[in-house]
Amino acid sequence: MHSQHRLMLERAQSYQLSRPMIPSRVPSPTSLPVDERTGTIAFAFDIDGVLVRSKDPLPGATEAISMLQKLGVPFIFLTNGGGKTEEDHVTLLAKRLELELSAEQFVQAHTPFRDLIPQLQHKNVLVLGGTYDSMRLVAEDYGFKHVYTTSDIYRSFPNIYPFDELTSEYHKSAGREVELDSAGMLQISAILIWSSPRDWGTDLQFMLDLLLSHQGFVNTISSLNGNKSLPNNGYGQDGQPSIYWCNPDLTWATSHPLPRVAQGSFRAALQGIWLSQTGLDHIPNETTVGKPTKATYLYGEKTLVAYNNKVNDEDTPQIEIVYMVGDNPASDIQGANSFVSPRGFEWKSILVESGVHVAGTSPAHSPTHIVADVLEAVNLAIAEWTTGNCQNSLSKSSTLVDLTELTIKEEELEK
Ligand code: G3P
Ligand code: MG
């Protein structure tokens, strides 16, 4: 028996499930006897609401992660959070959990933007989210060479937002002069939203301006807008910037007792304004990564495989099952349930009750299992794997959605 299997078996024997498990109707590779298996399980952990809540570690988080480290079970963090480099974010999480973690295990909401470097590296991009220079620094760390923030635009074009009483001092101090071209113009090729925008009024106004502009030039308006002989009545038909979102979450779990609005809510606000101004119910040239999109699960799986190959020796078992442990049914659970692994991995979902999902309520997307917290999730997965009997504590009958519209084209993101 592989040493990892032996250690997992020992762990499983000491664990008592707190809820009854119902045999799965779906045959699984875990139905092989444990000593005949050559593969392993792996984990993808959501962070907010699973491992931490705001700055505080959640009960069982440190124990769950350190147990996997001892067992040599590969895992990654798959979060819709961001706003920092992967190195900075993993350092913060490691400190909060009092563990050693690697940035190579870390997929944030905007990590897939790294794959946009070949096409946008030398273009002017507008980045939204964060405060002061934080998003510019992350974007530059990824390799983007010409990065602007809304504060930069404000500094050069102070009239873009008329209700600046509360924010003008901030934008003046946070922004820097933009580089105009030889005609005195600024052209933005893409808008990348990295985390929740802070000054919604200015950001919404400026995004709308660019969506209605001629080829993304600031302070222009397209003559094609409203032309009924063109597709979409001429809107989005004039080389306007592409928009890249990285977090569809409408809400997220913080230390506040009620969920707080997240980037998806900002997009909904823009969508509402766009609809009322153009009559169109979709924003043109937009793509979205982040859970639950296929693009992010592809990126996560790629990261997991690379990490497993790096940290484990040659006879390490290959990954057969990935458990996505999350607190948000619409994000973590829907994404894992919908994802079809190109490598043939089986993705299962475990919903915890320590974040967005409220115990006793019925989640909109049914996970493979529901448990109290991350430690119970890990114990359950190990028990399921080592008993050689794949079991479901719930039926997996979530509403599958077509994620193609939410997903960056694979040729843009897949290496
Ligand atoms: O949507 C906000 C974000 O912080 C949620 O993070 O770790 O729950 O995906 P996470
Ligand atoms: Mg979460």
**Euclidean distance between the first and final Cα of the chain, in Å?**
36
- CB atoms under 10 Å from CB of 105, counted, come to 22
Sign, CA dihedral 155-185-118-112, equals positive
* Phi and psi, residue 370, nearest 5°: -120, 130
The pLDDT of residue 67 is above 70: yes
**Confidence (pLDDT) at 314:** 63
Is the distance from the beta carbon of residue 247 to the nearest atom of ligand 1 less than 6 Å? yes
Average pLDDT score over the chain: 88
How far is it, in rounded angstroms, from Cα 58 to Cα 56? 6
CA distances in angstroms from 230 to 65, 153, 215, 239, 397, listed in the order given: 55, 31, 16, 14, 42
Q: Measure 47 CA to ligand 2 centroid, in angstroms.
A: 6
Segment 129-144, tens digit of pLDDT: 999 999 999 999 999 9
- What the block records as the tokens of 233 is 């009545």
**Domains in the chain, please, with CATH?**
3-16+50-109+293-413 (3.40.50.1000), 112-288 (3.40.50.1000)
43-47, 200-204, 244-248, 312-316: segment of lowest average pLDDT: 312-316
Ligand with the closest atom to the CA of 50: 2
CA of 46 to the centre of ligand 1 (A): 7
> In the prediction, which pLDDT does 370 show?
98
**pLDDT at position 25:** 32
Confidence bin at 24 (pLDDT 50/70/90): very low
Pocket test for ligand 1, best of 43, 45, 47, 293 (most atoms within 8 A of CB): 47
Cβ(46) – ligand 1 distance below 6 Å: yes
Ligand 1 pocket mutation, candidates 80, 84, 250, 327, criterion most atoms within 8 A of CB? 80
pTM, full prediction: 0.86
380: tokens are: 């359950």
How far apart (Å, rounded) are the C-alpha atoms in residues 321 and 345? 6
User: Is any atom of ligand 1 closer than 6 Å to the C-beta of 249?
Assistant: yes
The tokens describing 115, both together, are: 């794959």
Ligand 1 midpoint to CA 336 (Å): 15
The candidate with the shortest Cα–Cα distance to 378, out of 95, 98, 59, 109, is 59
Please report the sign of the dihedral spanned by the C-alpha atoms of residue 411, residue 310, residue 50, residue 386.
Answer: positive
The DSSP string of 59-108 is TTHHHHHHHHHHHT--EEEE-S--SS-HHHHHHHHHHHHTS---GGGEE-
Q: In percent, how much of the chain has pLDDT > 70?
A: 85
Query: Among 375, 381, 378, which Cα is nearest to 62's?
Result: 375
Do 212 and 222 touch, CB atoms closer than 8 A? yes
Confirm if 160 and 205 have CB atoms less than 8 A apart.
yes
**pLDDT tens digits along 386-414:** 876 554 444 333 332 233 333 344 444 33
Residue 324 has pLDDT above 90, yes or no: yes
The rounded Å distance from CA 263 to ligand 2 centre is: 13
